[in-house]
Structure 1
Amino acid sequence: MGPERGAAIGEPMTQVHDHGGGVRSLRVPIPDNPLGHTLVYVVDTDRGPVLVDTGWDDPASWDTLTEGLAACGTAPSGIHGVVITHHHPDHHGLSGRVREASGAWIAMHAADAAIVRRTRTTRPERWFSYMAAKLTAAGAPEDHVAPLRAARRPSGLPGLSPAAPDREIVPGELLGLPGRRLRAIWTPGHTPGHVCLHLEEEHPGRLPGLGRLFSGDHLLPGITPHIGLYEDPDDATATDPLGDYLASLERVAALAPAEVLPAHQHAFTDAPARVRELLAHHESRLTGLLSLLATPLTPWQLAERMEWNRPWPDIPHASRTIAVAEAEAHLRRLVKLGRAEAVAGDGVVRYGAA
């Protein structure tokens, strides 16, 4: 991780960084998560500060956000608007509290806004039942599925009542930020409505390239974002999230921004080079997974054989569910490319090389 540009402001505990040109970032903690924090950006406009993402809905995270805003010379009550890159709780979690404090608008892409509305209206038991059925079809063992079958109420799960947005982010259009040129770039993959935000203004440090890109989780300097499935209990359409993600990477590379301001880790330059690394990574992974399919495997069996950041026996229950979703996303890409095929039987789907 290289040093960030600009200068720190305020006390160290506020974790505020000035990126220049009326853009600052706040490190808002994510409790009990190896990512550590979400970078929430504060963008000055002629109508007051606008936030890009808000961080996790947790008292300590709210306190950190409040302290950071104070170091920027404002407060939650002074926020004019909130722009959400995607609906995940480490990005959208505190949006409702910010709106309650300030009356700020909340903007989100329509595809992720639909997920928020569905989450707010779907009973948790419906989600548990749906996920149990999905995991069973993916070949998960009964001891993994049983807790979902028995669940009736959530146990500390975040994001079950996220704030409903009141503005839509329209791909390709400028957001209504007085005095700024911030254009929405639709980058599905991590979520169906993920957006990057292109600040079409000269870089304050005059770095070569076109402006700066708030990249959310789409483009990160040292890690690859999770690409799972677009889950909807009422829609059985087979989507291709990994294909969406790879196409979105190409779209971002073509922008050639001077600097990328991601939601995790640190700011970086040379977006096209990072895109090339990610494209090569996924192509290598798809090729490696295809070699495992000489004998047909379920998504669960494939996940057991994939490389993760720790051995499979050490991966906790919830993370195994996420891992299986990522395995299935890769399988769907291989099927769409004609390199693998699904074979159904006994209520479980297996995949083999085509």
Structure 2
Amino acid sequence: MAPQATEPQVSEPPVIEHGGGVWSVKVPIPDNPLGFTLVHLLATDAGPVLIDTGWDDPTSWSALTAGLGTCGVAVEDVHGVVITHHHPDHHGLSAKVREVSGAWIAMHEADASVVRRTRSQPPERWYGYMAAKLTAAGAPAEHVAPLLRARDEGRPRRLPGLDPALPDRGITPGELLDLPGRRLRAIWTPGHTPGHVCLHLEEEHPAGLRGFGRLFSGDHLLPGITPHIGLYEDPDDDTVTDPSPSSRLRSTRGDPIGHYLDSLKRVGRLDPAEVLPAHQHAFTGAPARVRELIAHHEERLTGLLTLLTEPLTPWRLAERMAWNRPWDEIPHGSRSIAVSEAEAHVRRLVKLGRAEAVAGSDPVTYVAV
């Protein structure tokens, strides 16, 4: 799942040279208002390395290969692929790049674990998991019905990202990646996914900008939109079969909002000269952007406490939250994402002792304390 945006940024050219052996290539995301993923190309002494690969679609593949050609690189030349996180608009084309080039794929273990579990689950398990998760969050029967039909009819793997490439290498937080001639350090930034990483290029900025190197930020830090922070998806989660409040609070999905806020502070302390995100455009002023995002989530949490003066399910809470369009105009899939984001914020309030699940409620409701 990608960050939410009302319209894509389309003013910049499809390939941008950032200097110092770094380029970005716009790779389209079909039928998505974000428009594209910025795949970054990093020259190394061992050969070109990609940071993310983009969505698995013929149009996206054509854009990636053409963009690399503009940079003077053929896909066959790619030495390695470093994945910021497992979502299909970032990891989707990794298998094809590896097939053509023989490149290795590196990913943080927390997201590699998600990839392994995803590949091991049949499609009907995923549809059933999503249906149970939404039912436990208070979703109406008409919203859940399409997922149950897909499960019972044995639909093929139509959801994106159900066959992601298995990585060849891990990414160890805090360590330099094995990229001859470059200093690229992995910074673990969980929140958007459990294994999201930013990549800090610890080299002088080619234009001499003030700050410490450049940061490939994936979806963690974006210039004009807020990344989706929802509960981590896991079909092995015991809440599929036991959706009770106590089970949901034991969930392995943890506290994504808390993880994200902590990760933002870590990135802000780096104070990079420039940020190269996976969507929109490169930007400066990372500490200020970090402060804006922290303030946004603090305001969100405060607003939810006001809503939770009465017991509400996550679904009813999502209906009342402010989104980039009225609830009635939000499509089916995006409503599911919105509910997951509402749940993540409620989880944070529970962790802080400012909200609690109402004992005996089914579906579970929460109230401020």
User: For this structure pair, what is the TM-score category when the shorter chain's length is used for normalisation?
Assistant: over 0.9
* Pick aligned residue for 2:232 from 230, 233, 243: 230
The residue number in structure 2 matching 1:207 is 209
What SS does the corresponding residue of 2:229 show, helix, strand or coil?
Answer: coil
Deviations, residues 71-90 of structure 1 (Å, cap 9, x unaligned): 11111100000000000000
Question: What is the distance in 1 between the residues matched to 2:68 and 2:126?
Answer: 36
The reply to whether residue 243 of structure 1 matches residue 247 of structure 2 is no
Q: What residue number does 1:177 align with? A: 179
Counterpart Cα distance in 2 of 1:113 and 1:202 = 31
| Structure 1, unpaired ranges of 5+ | 1-11
List structure 1 segments (4+ residues) > 4 angstroms apart after TM superposition: none
Q: What's 1:50 paired with?
A: 49
Deviations 1:227-276 (A, max 9, x none): 01112222333510010000000000010000000000010111000000
The answer to whether 1:299 aligns with 2:298 is no
Deviation at 1:14, TM superposition (A): 7.4
Alignment pair present for 1:18 and 2:25: no
Q: Which one-letter code corresponds to 1:15 in the other structure?
A: P
| Among candidates 317, 340, 356, match of residue 325 of structure 1 | 340
2:13 and 2:71 map into 1 onto residues whose CA distance is 10
* Kept after mapping to 2: 8 A contact 1:14/1:67: no
| Alignment check: 8 A CA contact 2:108 2:170 kept | yes
Secondary structure of 2:358's counterpart equals: strand
Please tell me whether the aligned partners of residues 14 and 71 of structure 1 are also in contact (alpha carbons under 8 angstroms).
Answer: no
Counterpart position of 2:193 = 191
TM-score normalised over the length of structure 1: 0.95
1:285-322 residue CA offsets vs partner (Å, 9 max, x unmatched): 11011100010100000000011111111111111110
| Aligned mates of 2:252, 2:268 — CA distance in 1 | 29
Distance (Å, rounded) in 1 between the aligned partners of 2:33 and 2:290: 23
How many Å separate the matches in 1 of 2:233 and 2:177?
28
Cα distance in 2 for partners of 1:69, 1:155 equals: 30
Give 1:71's aligned residue.
70
1:265 match: secondary structure: coil
Q: Which secondary structure does the structure 1 equivalent of 2:364 belong to?
A: strand
SS in 2 for 1:38: strand
> Which letter does structure 2 place at the counterpart of 1:251?
R
Conserved 8 A contact 1:203-1:212 = yes
Please report the TM-score for the alignment, with normalisation by the length of structure 2.
Answer: 0.91
**Maintained 8 Å contact 1:87/1:116:** yes
What is the CA-CA distance between 1:13 and the residue it aligns to?
11
1:55-204 matches, cutoff 5 A: 55-151=54-150, 152-154=154-156, 156-204=158-206
Q: Secondary structure at the match of 1:321?
A: helix
Change (3 A) 1:14 1:60: farther
Find the counterpart in structure 1 of residue 240 from structure 2. Answer: none
**Deviation (angstroms), 1:156:** 3.4
Contact (CA 8 Å) 1:14, 1:64: kept in 2 or not? Answer: no
**Is the contact between residue 231 and residue 253 of structure 2 (CA under 8 Å) also seen in structure 1?**
no
Cα distance in 2 between the residues matched to 1:68 and 1:341: 50
Matches of 1:13 and 1:198 in 2, distance apart? Answer: 24
SS, match of residue 223 in structure 2: coil
Distance 1:16 1:238 in 2: 37
Once the two structures are superposed, the pairs formed by residues 260-271 of structure 1 within 5 Å of their partners are 260-271=275-286
* In structure 1, distance between residues paired with 2:37 and 2:236: 31
Per-residue CA shift, 1:131-161, capped at 9, x if unaligned? 1111111100000111111113246321110
> Using the alignment, how far apart are the partners of 1:233 and 1:45 within structure 2?
38
- In 1, distance between residues paired with 2:44 and 2:38? 19
Q: Deviation digits for residues 94-116 of structure 1, max 9, x if unmatched?
A: 00000000000000000000111
Instruction: State how far apart, in whole Å, the 2-side matches of 1:256 and 1:60 are.
Output: 36
Contact 1:173 1:183 in 2 (8 A): yes
CA distance in structure 2 between the aligned counterparts of 1:148 and 1:93, rounded to whole angstroms: 23
User: Residue 183 of structure 1 aligns to a residue in which SS?
Assistant: strand
Alpha-carbon offset, residue 128 of structure 1: 1.1
Whole-angstrom CA distance in 2 between matches of 1:184 and 1:121: 28
Supply the distance in 1 between the matched residues of 2:101 and 2:266 (Cα, whole angstroms): 35
Q: 1:156 to 1:233 in 2, by over 3 A?
A: closer
SS in 2 for 1:348: coil
Distance across 1 between alignment mates of 2:137 and 2:53 = 34
List per-residue Cα deviations over 1:30-55 (Å, max 9, x = no partner): 00000000000000000110000000
In structure 2, C-alpha distance between the alignment counterparts of 1:73 and 1:212, rounded to whole Å: 23
Query: Partner of 1:279 in structure 2?
Result: 294
Aligned residues: 343
Paired with 1:344 and 1:125, the residues of 2 have a C-alpha distance of 31
The superposition leaves residues 167-220 of structure 1 with CA deviations (integer Å, 9 ceiling, x where unpaired) of 000000000000000000000000000000000000000001100000000000
Identity in percent: 76
For the residues of structure 1 that align with 2:157 and 2:141, how far apart are their CA atoms? 20
